[in-house]
Copies of this chain bind each other. A is one copy, B any other.
Amino acid sequence: LKKINHGGVTTPLGYQSSAICADIKGNKSGKKDFGILVSDVPAVVSATFTKNKVKAAPVIYDIQLLSEKSEFFGIVINSGNANACTGKLGLENTKRICSEFENRLQIDNKSLLMASTGVIGVQLPVNKMLKYVNEIVNELDDTDDNLAEAILTTDTVIKKSAYLVETENGAFVVGGIAKGAGMIAPDMATMLAFITTDALVNKDIQDEVLRLAVEESFNSITVDGDMSTNDSVFLFSNGMSGISVNHGENLELFKEAVKAVCLDLAQMIVRDGEGATKFVTINIKNAKSYEDAKKCAFKIANSPLCKTMFFGSDPNWGRLMATIGSSLIDFDEDKVDIYFDNLKYVENGLLISEDLEDKAYEIMKKDSFSITIDLKIGTFSKTVYTCDLSYDYVKINADYRT
């Protein structure tokens, strides 16, 4: 597995992208907000979507198409408008935009998917958008910075990752781009990720590889515990490297590469969380079940009291204990050990020494640190990634539309 500098969604063979500013928000910001990712040949697509019961029109559209067929030429993407809570017209607009691209690209009907992100409850400015289809298609090339930029909302940096994988028969590549920022939570809050590969893989195997990678990456991060109407992760494989990854060693390498890209993108999303100043890794160890470990980790990662404590660099272990308790998992207060990075701070439910406070404070002042909670009553563990809760989170979200 070799990390590719500046690698992204068009790094694997046979992918092109393009994006422009269609002024979808209508505020003449000049920011790119509309684009497309296409494969030169049909690609097998796997995807996972938000569990929110309110699903955006493009999510409903994609789920329907993916139930009908498994190969697609690409995906149309816009930011600035989520096309959620937009009723039948919202669904028709999705279809209309995809059709226009399909006609222009001279590919079959229903061979493009769509993803949207942005404000909820406002119809897409379709007529305005359709005027840009020609320009977008004309500008297709094998770079992806424009598209990586066009999918952002309150994100502050583009998010890209790619790995080259050498096998006995040759090499394949897995790459991706993502957007995140606020509303990131388990089961994928407002986040979009697009992963591509030139490996050759069957639909069933690819579905399972994506499911596992998402559980360990995008479903193991949280910014504020909210879950959006639009979250989606797509994995496209076009087989253009000629390397099959359906079996044995190659399958293991493929799993590893997809997970590495997903984890890179997921961690970049947390680091760029709305107002985030710190990246915090929460390790729960030796819980009675995986569900308990996960529940406890997310309870801490989403607790406003814990998150403001991270912001304030305050090693207030009592808040951690209270939060473990409020997660209602099985545990024994008198067995809990707590570490800040490698510093053991609490043993068997009690502070080891007040003298350690300064050391713990120094660790928490860093822009990245870990908290490990060893429950010592089982064998199951879970790691989640989160950020702190700062003044800027409030500022960004109080002023989102104004």
Closest to A225 in B: B304
User: Which of A225, A228, A305: most chain B CB closer than 10 A?
Assistant: A305
Interface mask (A90-103 → B, CB under 8 Å = 1, otherwise 0):
00000000000000
Interface mask (A179-194 → B, CB under 8 Å = 1, otherwise 0):
0001100000000000
Closest to A390 in B: B394
Please judge, given known A-B contacts A303-B226, A349-B87, whether A318 and B397 are in contact too, CB under 8 Å. no
Please judge, given known A-B contacts A226-B303, A350-B87, whether A309 and B53 are in contact too, CB under 8 Å. no
| Contacting residue for A314 out of B182, B322, B393, B400, CB 8 A | B400
Tell me, yes or no, whether A25 is within 8 Å of chain B by CB.
no
A-side interface residues, number (CB < 8 Å): 60
Tell me, yes or no, whether A126 is within 8 Å of chain B by CB.
no
Cβ–Cβ contact A398 & B311, under 8 A: yes
Cβ–Cβ contact A324 & B54, under 8 A: yes
Q: How far apart are the CA atoms of A304 and B303 in the complex, in Å?
A: 10
Tell me, yes or no, whether A51 is within 8 Å of chain B by CB.
yes
Contact segment of A10-18, A26-34, A35-43, A328-336? A328-336
For this complex, 11 residue pairs linking A to B, each with C-beta atoms less than 8 Å apart, are A53-B324, A54-B326, A85-B349, A121-B321, A226-B304, A312-B398, A312-B400, A314-B402, A390-B394, A391-B394, A393-B394
Please list the residues of chain A having a beta carbon within 8 angstroms of any beta carbon in chain B: 51-55, 82, 84-87, 119-122, 182-183, 224-229, 303-305, 308-309, 311-312, 314, 316-319, 321-326, 328-329, 331, 333-334, 349-351, 389-391, 393-395, 397-402
